[in-house]
Structure 1
Amino acid sequence: MSTKLYKYRSFNDQFLNNIIINSSLYYSPIKYFNDPFDCRLSFREKYSNKERKLWLIKASLRNPQFGKQDIKEMMAFYTNEKLIKMIKKSNNELIDNIGVLSLSATHDNILMWSHYSNSHNGLVFEFEPLNYDGYDCLYHPIKVDYDEKYELLSYLESDDGSELVKLMLTKHIDWKYENEYRCIDIGFQGEKKFHKDELKSIFFGLDTTTKQIEEFKKLCLDNGFTHLNFKKAKKINGKFELAFDDI
């Protein structure tokens, strides 16, 4: 992916300096998300006998825990309620271990600067993901979809990952201004390293002080980021827009 992606940060962020010192970004647990609908979409709770039977047949073929039980016995034991309880438990355990890195496709959104960069007193990192391998921090960013409504997800279709993708990448249209991309790791949360050459520029906010800028530029240079471009935001007269000057 050659598209540049951006990370909005505040100088109050406890992980900020680690971005430079450790060449890393933080994969967050879903429980810390500020949107109560984000990755918490609703699932159908009722399924027909035909749907349950088909799921149990497929499960018995790929999962030894079901053994060679007769399908009628399985249908009798795994009532709708028991089946949903079992799958829901498995899904929740999976989701609890997922880590998400959120990025944006834009660096000049006024709301983003206000919400995620301490009211224009923070900074934005510009990355160009090079997709080295599946362990790289910026491997395979996926675009978030925005909509006014969604169809209920299906517990019985969650095995192949398609419902998990919808769960992770569907948000209400009110969030569209974020223009978000996500890097998702099924089993990792915490800091993950990126390659130094993937970080291209740093943009400082309108109200970032000269002292903050100079200290952070020094941190970058001291940690091998000698190739970075540094820019400072300014207002465009007569417009609700930002421009950026090289500094």
Structure 2
Amino acid sequence: MRKGYKYRGGIGQFDKDGQSILHRDIATLVSNQIYLPLKDELNDPAEGIFNDDSIYAFLHSHKAHSALVEKCYNDIIAKIRSMGIYSLAGNVSNELLWAHYASGHTGFAIEYDIDGLKKSLNFNKYFQKVFDLEMSYVDKVPTLTMMDLPPHGNLERMKSS
């Protein structure tokens, strides 16, 4: 069984609407739910960014013939922006995560069976597919090229951030 951990805030932490994060987290646990924020709702503005300049350069240089490619690329970007993200840590003893995501060590961590979580989410009326990606944190912004797009690539490079 693969385990994943979600670090959560403690008492006195509030969301952007002024609601208690602790109450929200307890309510989701009691209701057997999870919340998957969109990429734009994450607290790290650099999360999931990539350099796609070469794609835009290609589209610009082939304007007369690239309308379909541009539409497909824009559809991919829109799909990515509409996907919810549920990040789990690989261990429960990461001091940095306790400090940052568990309100300076005052919060708690929830342990999940990753395979059980995926099985319970996949192919129900709310989730058509759950992706399980190992993230790679790098110092340089990844570059996305035409070869990374389907049918050639599988967008593996987009998981680096």
TM-score normalised per structure 2: 0.71
Look up the match of 2:2. 3
Q: Does 1:78 align with 2:65?
A: yes
Q: Give the letter for the 2:119 counterpart.
A: Y
> How has the CA–CA distance of structure 1 residues 78 and 104 changed in structure 2, closer, same or farther, with 3 Å as cutoff?
same
Give the Å deviation of 1:94. Answer: 1.0
Higher strand fraction (1 or 2): 1
Q: CA deviation at 1:125?
A: 0.6
1:153 aligns with 2:140: no
Alignment match, 2:34: 25
Contact 2:51/2:141 (8 A) holds in 1: no
Is the partner of 2:87 in helix, strand or coil? strand
**Mean Cα displacement is larger for which, 12-21 or 127-136?**
127-136
SS state of the match for residue 49, structure 2? coil
Q: Distance in 2 between matches of 1:151 and 1:141?
A: 19
Q: 1:146: how far off?
A: 2.2
**Equivalent residue runs for 1:47-86 within 5 Å:** 47=58, 77-79=64-66, 82=67, 85-86=70-71
Residues 1:46 and 2:76 aligned together: no
Report the secondary structure of 2:36's partner residue. Answer: strand
In the TM superposition, what are the counterparts of 1:127-166 in structure 2 within 5 Å?
A: 127-129=112-114, 130=116, 131-132=118-119, 134-135=122-123, 141-149=132-140, 151-155=142-146, 157-160=148-151, 162-163=154-155, 165-166=156-157
User: Which is further off, 6-15 or 95-104?
Assistant: 6-15
Amino acid at match of 2:154: S
What are the superposed Cα offsets for residues 60-115 of structure 1, whole Å, 9 maximum, x if unpaired?
xxxxxxxxxxxxxxx77325xx5664344223321221111000011111111110
1:13-68, CA deviations, whole angstroms, 9 ceiling, x for partnerless residues?
153023322111111101012223322211113239xxx9xxxxxxxxxxxxxxxx
What secondary structure is seen at the aligned counterpart in 1 of 2:86? strand
Which amino acid in 2 is paired with 1:78?
H
Q: Is contact 2:7-2:98 (8 Å) kept? A: yes
Query: Computing the radius of gyration over CA atoms, which structure comes out larger, 1 or 2?
Result: 1
CA RMSD, 1 decimal? 2.9
The total of aligned residue pairs comes to 140
Q: Does 1:95 align with 2:80?
A: yes
Q: Distance in 2 between matches of 1:32 and 1:10?
A: 16
Q: Which runs of 5 or more structure 2 residues have no equivalent in the other structure?
A: 14-20
Query: Residue 96 of structure 2 aligns to which amino acid in structure 1?
Result: L
Distance in structure 1 (CA, Å) of the matches to 2:63 and 2:157: 31
Q: Say if 1:6 and 1:106, in contact at 8 Å, map to a contact too.
A: yes
SS in 2 for 1:132: helix
Q: Which runs of 5+ in 1 are unaligned?
A: 53-74, 172-247
Name the TM-score, length of structure 1 as normaliser. Answer: 0.48
**Counterpart amino acid of residue 3 in structure 2:** K
